[in-house]
Structure 1
Amino acid sequence: MATKDDVSQSARGLLKKVKQRYMKSADFNGLHISTIWNSREDLEAAAELVTARLVEVVGPSDYMNIHIRPWPTRRKVADQIRELRELSDDDYGVCLYPRAKALKRTKLPKKCEDAPFAKAMARGRSTLELAFFSADVLESYRNDARFRFGMGDFGINFWLSDEAFDGHQPEKDHVGLMHLGFAYDMRQYDPEVPNTPIVRRVAAFYGDLDDLTPEHQQRWASFQVGDDGIDPHPVWYASQMGHWPDGLGPFARLKPGAQSYQRLV
């Protein structure tokens, strides 16, 4: 398996820039490269790093916003290298992201101290990768009058209310999550056996969890469950990817005003 010591000096120099950009940016962003700002030597160094599986490319074909890595690359090495070599001055460019093995011994930034999800991002997790939790994680927010808490058929959101925010609440509680969803744990379910359970879980993106304060990240980490056998609610996940449902869920239909709302969607 190739390491950073197995690549050329120009590739090592580029890898250092990629890692610095990733660690020092606000949201673990990638290093933007294009033919306008970078030489062909830079592009070949990037191709060398991709071949060594030290970096990966995020381009327009991967995600609309190349400045975040949505998920571990879904493309073959050859496809990523081809995109690098076919870049022209008419293209916006691509972003380079360090892979987990390139980050293994990298010193963590201070913001990752006591912040498990920020640490996971610093070690190579992607912004739209999912983490799953026991539903109990929501109780303290639902029962805390300082927070506005909403739950629908497919998702959940909560945030510190304006009144509480203006009331000089501790900085550690200046938190909110707007893109939480439901997921289903099917590990105990057997369609051939009556009454076997389907367990509802909570799903959250690593990139959102990273925005929580360290105290709340630690709390969420204590409720995290393994992801084997768990799938996000398909309607919620589709909506997060920009595919909006064309109607209301069964519980939303029972709320006052739901019928008039439905006529608008």
Structure 2
Amino acid sequence: MAKTRKAIILDRVLETCLQSGDFNGVGVEQLTQVRDAELITELIADDRLDLVRGDGHPNPHIKAFQAEPIDVQLKKIDEAGLAGCLYPTPQLLAEHDAGASEAAPYTRALKEGAPQLSYRAFDLRALEWYRNDPRFHFDVDDIHGRILQKDGTQVADRAVVLDRLEFFEFGFAYDDNMHRAIAAFIRYLHDLPEALQLEMEKHELSGSYKLHPDFIRTQIIGDFPEKMSIYDAFLQEKLQINRFCAQMGRPPLFRSEFDDLKRPNGFGVLLRPTKKEFRDFALLLDQLLSDDLNREFFKGDVEQNRYLTDEDGKRVTQPKVQSSSWRSGYARSSGLPMRSR
């Protein structure tokens, strides 16, 4: 028995979405038979197809967000005609068991009709393994981050599922109590190997999490924030202070050159609220501030040494500007009482 034209249209939309590799839609201009426009409208009204026009997201060839309600789709067709791309509805995909045999949870979600820019929230521990592995660049700021395998590194050929990541991009989200979580779009999660998708799923959080507003601006709207992070502002302020010193004819207050003021790893919001994270951050801040002071700036105006006495009454000279590593070991190893002279 010959297929009806409606069945042919549905089959084509299903095949394109599930076999294109990127879950693409079928442009309405590709369906050119005389009655196709009428049949497509009927299929939309029957909750078989969704029409994505490209007015909510500039690329209609991906289903970035949840499709508009049926009545809104039909109203736009009445007002502006058919335009954009067609996608199978979640109901149609469910009837065809599109994701039933898919083990990777986030690939399965796309096969079941989830929008590509819908997201999931995860416990902060989900990516900690990569942060601690020297084979990967782990770049994170206050808004988003990414993991990238370093050039020239050889990932071990062994049965550790976490070794199979080459690139991953993520952001941050918050619940109503401002608890922070990692957030990732379904499309990026789909790009992960099956084993890693299953590993990520173990850390997925329930409840309502909202994306950081600047993450939405940069990743979805394509609008980059005008405001600067307090951490970047701290580094830029050091640069400005050194410029003021040069205008005063003085040595720079900080030893860092302009190229040294790139934001170092770890100088930002804590990935996990632990004592170790806090202590590592405090040490890094100390290195960026007090350890970076230039003794020459104070020469002639401030005494650069302090004079102490040890337990035998001998005079000991101690520089006032010292490295944090020197200071951390000083109290334990020197045995000097803190008596100035």
Q: Normalising by structure 1, what TM-score?
A: 0.79
RMSD between superposed Cα atoms in Å: 2.7
Q: Distance in 1 between matches of 2:239 and 2:211?
A: 27
2:43 matches 1:49: yes
Counterpart check, 1:71 vs 2:65: yes
Deviation at 1:141, TM superposition (A): 1.1
Unaligned runs of 5+ in 2: 241-257, 259-341
Aligned mates of 2:152, 2:62 — CA distance in 1: 33
* Equivalent position of 2:167 in the other structure: 176
**Shift, 1:147, TM fit:** 1.1
* Cα deviation, residue 174, structure 1: 4.2
* Residue aligning to 2:231: 251
What is the SS of the residue equivalent to 2:35? Answer: helix
Where 2:57 maps in the other structure, the secondary structure is coil
| Aligned counterparts of 1:182 and 1:229: Cα–Cα separation in 2 | 13
Are 1:239 and 2:234 counterparts?
no
Change (3 A) 1:259 1:133: farther
Q: Is there any run of 5+ residues in structure 1 with no aligned partner, and where? A: 1-7, 190-197
Aligned residues: 233
> CA separation in 2, counterparts of 1:249 and 1:30?
39
Partner of 2:24: 29
Question: Residues 173 and 259 (structure 1 numbering): CA distance in 2 closer, same or farther, change over 3 Å?
Answer: farther
What do residues 184-217 of structure 1 show as CA deviations (whole Å, max 9, x unaligned)?
122xx3xxxxxxxx31101110011101111111
1:57/1:95 contact within 8 Å kept: yes
Q: Could you list the per-position Cα deviations for residues 14-50 of structure 1 after superposition, in whole angstroms to 9, with x for gaps in the alignment?
A: 111111111101111111121x752341222211111
Instruction: Work out the percentage of aligned pairs sharing the same amino acid.
Output: 24
TM superposition shift of 1:156: 1.2
The structure having more radius of gyration, on CA atoms, is 2
Give the drift of 1:105. Answer: 3.5
After TM superposition, list the pairs within 5 Å mapping 1:11-30 onto structure 2.
11-30=6-25
Matched to 2:7, the amino acid is R
Could you tell me which residue of structure 2 aligns to residue 129 of structure 1? Answer: 118
Deviations 1:39-94 (A, max 9, x none): 34122221111101121111121321111001111x34244235446448xxxx41
> Within the alignment, does 1:139 sit opposite 2:132 as a pair?
no
Q: 1:258 to 1:248 in 2, by over 3 A?
A: farther
3-state SS of 1:22 partner = helix
- The partner residue of 1:223 within 186, 197, 203 is 203
- Partner residue in 1 for 2:96: 106
> Which moved further from structure 2: 99-108 or 136-145?
99-108
Q: Give the counterpart of 1:61 among 45, 48, 55.
A: 55
Q: How far does residue 259 in structure 1 lie from its aligned partner after superposition? A: 6.1
**What residue number does 2:311 align with?**
none
CA deviation vs aligned residue, 1:114-160 (integer Å, no higher than 9, x gap): 31100111011111001111111110110111111011011111111
- Contact persistence 1:181–1:237 (CA under 8 A): no
CA contact (8 A) 1:150 1:156 kept: yes
Asked if the contact 1:43–1:84 (Cα under 8 Å) also holds between the matched residues in 2, the reply is: no
Equivalent-residue separation in structure 2 for 1:176 and 1:257 (angstroms)? 33
Question: In structure 2, do the counterparts of structure 1 residues 153 and 252 end up closer, same or farther at CA, with 3 Å as the change threshold?
Answer: farther
Q: TM-score, normalised by structure 2?
A: 0.62
Asked whether the 8 Å contact 2:99–2:112 carries over to 1, the reply is no
Q: Which residue of 2 aligns with 1:81?
A: 74
